[in-house]
Structure 1
Amino acid sequence: MNRLKTLLGKNALVYMRVLRIYFYDLTRFYKQSNVKQLFRNQDAYKGRLTILYHVIEKGLTMPQTRLGFGGPVVMDLMDLLAQFKRLGYDVNCMEFKHSSNVLAEYFTFHAERNFELPSELAERYKQFQHMVTAGNATQQLRFTRTEYFRHKDASFDQFSLSRYSCRNYSDTPIPREVIQKCIRLAMKSPTSCNRQLNRIYVVSDPAIKEEVLKLQYGNRGFGHLATTLFILTANISYFQGVNDRNESYINTGMFAMSLLNALHHNEIGACPLNWSVDHKRDAALRKLLSIPDNERIGLVISAGYLPESFDIASSPRLEVDHIAKFFA
C-alpha cells in the first residue's frame, strides 16, 4: 500500500476508490449483460429479439422503404425465435409475439408490392411458420401531421401517450427562437442537487450535421432528413465524489425526455439516437464540435418539422405488471 501511495501520490486513496467502484460496475456488466453473446437466459434473448424486430420496424417505416431490405436481419430473427421456442421460453411474451407478427408484416409488405424476395429467405420463412406459429401481421402506425399533434395541448396522460419517435421530416428549418423556447422548457427538468450541468449543442449546418451523423450508429435512411441535431452532454466537473459516477447519464436522460416533450408540444418531430460508440468516435465528435474534456456526451436527438403524412414504428410497450414490483 505504501508503495502504491508513492506511485500514485497524495491522491492514491481517491484513485483506489474510483477503481474499486468502477470495477464493481464493470464486473456486473460483464457477467450479467449479453455483451459476450452467450444468451445465458431468457432476458438476453428478449433483448436481442427486440433489437432485431425494431430494425425491421424501422425499415418498414422509412421515408422511402427499400424493397428487399434487411434480409440477414430477417433470417437472424427467424433463427432466434426458433431457438427461443426450442429452449422452452415463454412464447406468449410480448417480444416473441411481436417479433413473429413483424415478420408476418415484412413478408405481407413485399407480397402486396409484388416484390420477389430471395428464394432462400422465402423458404426459411415457410420453415419458420412450421416451427413457430406466427401471429397476424402487425401494422406500423400511419399519421397525418394534424393527427399526430392533436393532443399536444391535452391532459398529461393524453399528451404522453401521443408522443412517438419520428424518423421522417420535412425540409422546413426550425427557427432559433423556437429551439430556444424548447431548451428553456427542458431546463426545468430535475438536476442533481440543482447542479445545472446539462449542455446542448444545436447543429443545423448541413456539412457539420452530415459529419455528426457519420459518427452515430442508427440513423441510416432518415438521419439526413433532420433539419436539426441536438447533442446532449453533461459537465462532470460539477460532481464531487466517486458515487456520482453515473449522475451525468441520469441528468442527461431526464433533460432529454423534457426536451422531447417540449419539441412535441411545439409540433416538432424528434427521435433520440444512442451514443453507444467507441472511444475513437467519441473523440471525433468532441473535436468536430469543440466539446471540452469535462463534458460527457450522452445522446443525440434528430428533429424537424413533419411532412403531411408519415409512418411510425408500432414498438409496443410491456404491461405495468411486467416491470413493477410493489412492496406494501
Structure 2
Amino acid sequence: MINKIVALTPDGLVEKLKIARLFGEYIQDFKRYSNNALLGTKGSSKNQLIGIIIFRTHAIEKGLSHNDFRPEFGKESIFGKLNKHLMEYKQLGYDLENQFIQAAISALNEYKKRHVDQEIDIPWFDNLFRTWLKPTPELSGTKEVFRNNASNRSYSDIVSSRVSIREFGSGNVDLQDIEDAIHISVKTPSVCNRQPWKVKVVSNPDIISKLLKVQGGFGGYNLPNKLLLVTVDTSLFNGRNERNEPYIDGGLFTMSLLYALESKNIATVALNAMFTNKRSKQVADILNLNDSEVLITFIAVGEYPESAMVPKSFRGDYKQIITHY
C-alpha cells in the first residue's frame, strides 16, 4: 500500500518511513478502541454497559422533554435495548446501587408516571421493567428552566446553569452576537498556538435543513435560527504524535464557544458530528469544505424561550473521577 503512495527515491524512502510509522500508530489506536469500546463483538465490561445505559437514559430524557410529548415514544428503538443492557449488567453481578443505574431507573419512573398522569396503559413497558421500577432519587427525567440574563452571572454560574435547548424561541439571533462569541472563543488554548479551528455560520434555512438531515439527531424539532459547524484544519499539524490533536483542540474550542454563546444570552445545543466518511463527505459537499477539514460538532443556536423543559442530564460524583498520586 505504501509503495503506491510514495515513489522509490531517497526522499521518497524517508516519506515512506514516516507514513509507515504513522500507519503503525493508527493500528495501535485501532486495537485500543476495538478492544475496549462496545462494538457488540464480545462480552461486555461494567464500563461498557454503564456507557450504553447512560446513552439510552439520555434518549429517554430527550423524549420526555419534548413540548409535544408522544405517548409510548421509544417503544421500538430504546426500551428493548435498555432492558437487555440492564439485565446483562444485573446477570454479571455488577453493583445495582451504581449512581448511573439509579439514574436509569429514575428515568424509567418518570416515563411511567407521565403515562399514568395521562391515563395511558403501557403493558409492554410494565412487562419489560417490572423488576426495575422502584422508588429512587429523582436523578433523571426533566426539569423546567426559564430565560434569564447571562450578562449578570459569573463564569461559574454560566457553566453550572447552562443547559442544552432544542426548542427555541421564535426570535432572530443577531449575527454580530455570534461573531462576538467566536471572538471570545479564539482565546482557547491550542497546541503550540496553532489555532486550527474554523466556524461555519449557516443562516440559510434550506442549507440548515440539508445539514440536519445528514446529522440525523434533530428530528421532531423546528429548524434552529442559525446552525454553526466547528471544523479543524489538519494541515496545520505535523508528525504522527499530533494525529489526534485536531479533535482535542476542536473540542476545547467548542466548549469555549458554547459558554461564550451562553454569555451572549444565546440558547444552544451541541449536535454530534460522529460520522462515517460517507456522511462527512455529504456535509463537505453541502458546504464546499476543504479536504483538510475534519468535522468537530454542529451547534444549533436560537433565542431562549421564556421557559423550556430540558433533560436533567445527571452528573456523577466528581470525586469518583479523581486519582491522587
Task: Report the TM-score when normalising by structure 1.
Answer: 0.91
**Is residue 45 of structure 1 aligned with residue 29 of structure 2?**
no
Whether the 8 Å CA contact 1:59–1:65 is kept in 2: the answer is yes
> Where does the alignment leave 5 or more consecutive residues of structure 2 unmatched?
none
**Is residue 12 of structure 1 aligned with residue 16 of structure 2?**
yes
Whether the 8 Å CA contact 1:171–1:225 is kept in 2: the answer is no
SS of the equivalent of 2:130 reads helix
Amino acid paired to 2:261: L
CA distance in 2, matches of 1:84, 1:36: 15
Measured after TM superposition, the shift of residue 261 of structure 1 is: 0.4
Q: Which runs of 4+ in 1 moved over 4 A?
A: 2-8, 136-139
Identity of aligned residues (%): 28
Measured after TM superposition, the shift of residue 124 of structure 1 is: 2.6
| TM alignment of 1:204-219, pairs within 5 A | 204-219=203-218
**Is residue 121 of structure 1 aligned with residue 125 of structure 2?**
yes
Whether the 8 Å CA contact 2:205–2:223 is kept in 1: the answer is no
SS of the equivalent of 1:214 reads helix
Q: 1:291 aligns with which of 289, 306, 313?
A: 289
Q: Residue 273 of structure 2 corresponds to which residue in structure 1?
A: 275
Q: 2:40 aligns with which of 6, 29, 36?
A: 36
Q: Residue 108 of structure 1 corresponds to which residue in structure 2?
A: 113
CA distance in 2, matches of 1:297, 1:197: 12
Q: In structure 2, do the counterparts of structure 1 residues 206 and 285 end up closer, same or farther at CA, with 3 Å as the change threshold?
A: same
**Is residue 80 of structure 1 aligned with residue 85 of structure 2?**
yes
Q: Residue 73 of structure 2 corresponds to which residue in structure 1?
A: 69
CA distance in 2, matches of 1:320, 1:152: 27
Encode CA deviations 1:6-62: one digit per residue, 9 max, x unaligned. 669432111111101111111100111112353431001001101111100000011
| TM alignment of 1:85-234, pairs within 5 A | 85-117=90-122, 119-129=123-133, 133=134, 135=136, 138-146=140-148, 149=149, 152-222=151-221, 224-234=222-232
Measured after TM superposition, the shift of residue 116 of structure 1 is: 2.9
Q: 1:262 aligns with which of 256, 260, 263?
A: 260
Amino acid paired to 2:125: L
Whether the 8 Å CA contact 1:163–1:264 is kept in 2: the answer is yes
Q: In structure 2, do the counterparts of structure 1 residues 39 and 174 end up closer, same or farther at CA, with 3 Å as the change threshold?
A: farther
SS of the equivalent of 1:304 reads strand
Whether the 8 Å CA contact 1:234–1:252 is kept in 2: the answer is yes
SS of the equivalent of 2:247 reads helix
Q: 1:252 aligns with which of 247, 250, 253?
A: 250
Measured after TM superposition, the shift of residue 242 of structure 1 is: 1.1
> Where does the alignment leave 5 or more consecutive residues of structure 1 unmatched?
none
Amino acid paired to 2:146: T
Amino acid paired to 2:73: F
CA distance in 2, matches of 1:37, 1:166: 35
Measured after TM superposition, the shift of residue 162 of structure 1 is: 0.8
Task: Report the TM-score when normalising by structure 2.
Answer: 0.92
Encode CA deviations 1:96-125: one digit per residue, 9 max, x unaligned. 0000010010010111112233x3233333
Amino acid paired to 1:18: L
SS of the equivalent of 2:270 reads strand
Whether the 8 Å CA contact 2:200–2:230 is kept in 1: the answer is yes
SS of the equivalent of 2:48 reads helix
Measured after TM superposition, the shift of residue 74 of structure 1 is: 2.1
Which range is displaced more, 158-167 or 104-113?
Answer: 158-167
Amino acid paired to 1:141: K
CA distance in 2, matches of 1:218, 1:323: 29
Amino acid paired to 1:15: I
Measured after TM superposition, the shift of residue 80 of structure 1 is: 2.2
Amino acid paired to 2:276: D
Q: How many positions carry a matched residue from both structures?
A: 318
Whether the 8 Å CA contact 1:82–1:128 is kept in 2: the answer is no
CA distance in 2, matches of 1:3, 1:144: 61
Whether the 8 Å CA contact 1:39–1:45 is kept in 2: the answer is no
Amino acid paired to 1:219: F
